[in-house]
Amino acid sequence: MLSTIATSSAQTQNELPPKVRHAEPLYLDLVRDLGARKGEKEINVGIDFMNVRNYNQHVILAEYEFAPINRLGLEVETDFSFFKRTAEGEEVPNNKLECLRLSAQYSFWVSEKHRMTLAAGYTQIFEFPDFKNYGKSSAITGVGYNPFFVAAKRLGKNIHTLVYTSPVVEHDVLQRTTQVRWQINTAVHYSIPQTSHLIGIEINKEIEHGMFEMTVRPQVKIKCSKNLSLGLVAGIPVVRKHEHFSSFIRLIYEL
């Protein structure tokens, strides 16, 4: 009898918490899988190729994300921006370490019955001067405050839907100004049966100074091996003043 009780207790302790498998957007990805389990971690490297009116911008990002406890994800991300002039005589921004992002995300409701997960989180953003002005101005040129909410639902076995919404409060340290913009991102993905590959579309919508902007991003995620995945994204501006077509590549390595 004591042996049975001990075995039952061990099984209870080893039981994994509920988790619904959701497809994650590739461009504006989440801090960690929804319903993350303790010990999960991965490294992401991404390259964004953007065509702006008078120059090309290449953004290189590196992320490390992990789950110290069940349902809680933490992430550290750095973004570097490099610019190349495409029109003579036009001003081009200087190369820079764009920002450092420190994020936390908690899945507060996970329902396997409804195949749905709700999560809330927060990202603290620190912006830096361009490389040419290091030591000449403030070490931090801007601070961003970004609380967010995520709702995801799987329809059947293969269709995944997700909504991500957040305000971003940006404070310019040098100009001493503050502005708010809103992000409303939606995504639909289809997981190809008997594989770990995904195809889908991500729609990034933003409202700033009363102006609405939107970019549609068709995408595919290819599972290259047990731990390595490759994400390919195209950016099609629908309502954008200065941005043209773009492309994005993301390498995902699960540790």
Enter the tokens of residue 185: 């991102």
Q: Can you tell me the distance from the alpha carbon of 223 to that of 232, in angstroms, rounded to the nearest whole number?
A: 12
Alpha-carbon distances, residue 167 vs 49, 184, 210 (angstroms): 25, 9, 14
Three-state SS sequence of 187-229: EEEEECCCCCCEEEEEEEEEEECCEEEEEEEEEEEEECCCCEE
Q: Does the pLDDT at position 1 exceed 50?
A: no
* Residues 207, 212: Cα–Cα separation, whole Å: 5
pLDDT range class, residue 14, cuts 50, 70, 90: low
Contacts of 229 (CB under 8 A, 6+ apart): 196, 221, 222, 223, 251, 252, 253, 254
Please name the residue ranges forming H helices in the chain: 2-14
- pLDDT band for position 90 (50/70/90)? confident
Average pLDDT for 151-161: 97
The 10s digit of each residue's pLDDT in 23-65 is 999 999 999 999 999 999 999 999 999 988 788 999 999 999 9
All domains in the chain, ordered by first residue:
2-254 (2.40.160.40)
% pLDDT > 70, the chain = 93
- In eight-state DSSP terms, residue 28 is S
What is the reported pLDDT for 7?
42
pLDDT band (50, 70, 90) for residue 4? very low
Q: Judge contact between 119 and 150, C-beta under 8 A.
A: yes
Check pLDDT > 50 for residue 8: no
pLDDT band at 137 (very low <50, low <70, confident <90, very high): confident
